[in-house]
Amino acid sequence: MKTICFYFQVHIPMLLRRYRFLEIDKDHYYYDDFANEANVQRIAKNSILPTNQLLLDLIKSSRGKFKVSFSISGLSVELFEQFAPEVMESFSELAKTGNVEFVAETYAHSLASLFDPEEFKQQVQLHSNTMFELFGVHPTTFRNTEMIYSDEIGQMTYDLGFTTILTEGSKDVLGWKSPNFLYGHPTIPQLKILVRNIRLSDDIGYRFSDRSWNEFPLTADKLMNWIKETDESEQIFNLFMGYQTFGERQPSESGIFEFLKAIPYQALANRITFSTPNDLAKKFNPISPIDVVYPHSWSGEEKDISHWTGNIMQSEALQKLYALGERIRLCSDRSIKHDWLCLQTSDHFHFMTTKPWNSFVVWPNYESPYDAFTNFMNIFSDFIHRVKEQYPSNIDDEELNALLTTIYNQEIKISELENQLQNKDAKEAIS
């Protein structure tokens, strides 16, 4: 019997304020509270609260046959508790149904798995403990930031006690294989891997309201027919997407909520069930292992990690940041440790990407990737000073001064470039 596994990523980045070079050593508060509050409340109103209520109604009306799973980053939990506490109350109501699985991830939605295994371990444990405190259950399934996965990350995840992991079903990983099966780790038979069905997930997440799409409009009935028409042996359909698909990326007027509301009834009418990742791990065995030597993700056409690590700015920022990891873990200053988590959020480095696709459409708080880099490094320079005042750092004074000089010069160059562009635009407008 065919089954659908819905997984939704719930993550809102903690946006940084505009922090100038001259503020270093003078102001240690790094966050744009106004922008964060506005983002959280907008997303809560347009997306999370109405979708949570709809899911709760669907679970009850289907008599528990409808199931979903979520991962909620730890920093998002903090933002909800600060600016929209009703969001966490609505997730608690969903948890009480017993039909929702909460999946573990890194607390800060960070790239620690690529740069600092010990930090990765601590963040996953912190996130698991947070999920237990909120919902009373320790997660058994893991999903890494941006679904970044490799054989090595699979090993680290298994060592932390997880036996199921979610990742992207890209061609580089699967080749000719179908995403509609359960797979395994090449050296750890106990680790089960669920891969995202890219086509069906993106049909909902990205193409649903695209009138130029040759399958527009997408209906629940059409989706179930596509699933029914697959080979009889293909039984698992992993529909993984960002939760903001509902009400944000696909606005209410697109009919996305009516589509979601119809899915359980159309599925059950066609004898298609719903499962959580934990359900699938218990019911199915891997049909074969998959080898993932180099990290891949669910971002971009390449499905690699270049959206976060692909240019010199990103590499510089990440290397300098994670060079502090050992010192931070020895400290007891709560504000430093919390800022350390916030500075690791992957979105900060995504904003620095120079690739064609980026996040500026969603989070327009920077004028360019270079602006994002300069702002982050100004904040990071102040953060380094705070760490050095209390704890010996592996970044010496000479290197730190060189870093500050580079940032200052970079800020001047960017300012000059912006002025040149503005003057050019003005001249073109006059002509």
The residues annotated with a catalytic role in the active site are 146
Q: What angle do CA 41, 42, 45 make, to 5 degrees?
A: 80
**Rounded-to-integer distance, Cα 35 and Cα 58, Å:** 33
Q: Which of 408, 311, 312, 387 is nearest to 343 (CA)?
A: 387
Please enumerate in sequence order all residues whose Cβ is within 8 A of that of 327, keeping only pairs 6 or more positions apart, or say none: 387, 391, 392, 393, 394
SS3 283: helix
Cα dihedral 172→178→182→185 (10° resolution): -20
Amino acid at 267: A
Per DSSP, 194 falls in state: E
56, two tokens: 């709760």
Give the DSSP H or E segment for 263: helix 256-269
Owner of token pair 């996953």: 124
Please enumerate in sequence order all residues whose Cβ is within 8 A of that of 106, keeping only pairs 6 or more positions apart, or say none: 73, 112, 113, 120, 123, 124, 127, 144, 145
**Rounded-to-integer distance, Cα 292 and Cα 427, Å:** 52
Bridge-based pairing state of the strands 192-196 and 182-184: antiparallel
- The residues with which 239 forms a beta bridge, in sequence order, are 6
The alpha carbon of 145 is separated from its chain's Cα centroid by a whole number of angstroms, namely 5
**Rounded-to-integer distance, Cα 23 and Cα 25, Å:** 6
Cα dihedral 381→384→390→393 (10° resolution): -140
405, two tokens: 């000089």
Q: Which of 164, 371, 385 is nearest to 283 (CA)?
A: 164
100, two tokens: 């929702």
Q: Which of 122, 184, 130, 113 is nearest to 10 (CA)?
A: 130
